[in-house]
Amino acid sequence: MSRIQVTYSGKVQGVGFRWKVLQISKKYVISGYIKNLNNGKVELLVEGTDSQVGKMVDEVDTELKNYWFSQECENKFGDAHFSEFSIKEY
């Protein structure tokens, strides 16, 4: 199992970024969330098998590349904390 947290910077709020990530997530067997942060960034947490997590993050990076200009990626340890993928409010 993998757990990866990615923080995106750029024009990622108010443009449907979270909704688009939610649509992409439906293609994969993963759990986690996408949420806006108070500092104008967006945080993505994806949990699942190495393959599914990697493919999901790669697709988000590629499909939404026009919205973000930098990202910070951090591997998280431990078991999955979520049972589904959702848009999380602040």
Asked if residue 69 has pLDDT above 80, the reply is yes
| β-bridge mates for residue 31, sequence order | 47
Q: How far apart are the first and last CA of the chain?
A: 26
pLDDT, mean of residues 78-87: 91
Domain ranges for the chain: 2-80
Q: Answer yes or no: 18 catalytic.
A: yes
Confidence of residue 90 (pLDDT cuts 50, 70, 90): low
Q: Which of 79, 71, 66, 63 is nearest to 7 (CA)?
A: 71
Q: Render pLDDT for 15-29 as a digit per residue (tens, 0 to 9).
A: 999 999 999 999 999
Q: Which residue has the higher pLDDT, 57 or 78?
A: 57
Of residues 36, 38, 39, 66, which has the active-site annotation?
36
Instruction: Based on the residue annotation, tell me whether 36 is a catalytic residue of this protein.
Output: yes
- Please give the average per-residue pLDDT across 63-76, as a whole number: 96
Catalytic annotation, pick one of 18, 38, 39, 66? 18
Mean pLDDT value across the chain? 95
CATH classification of 2-80, choosing from 3.30.930.10, 3.90.550.10, 3.40.50.620, 3.30.70.100? 3.30.70.100
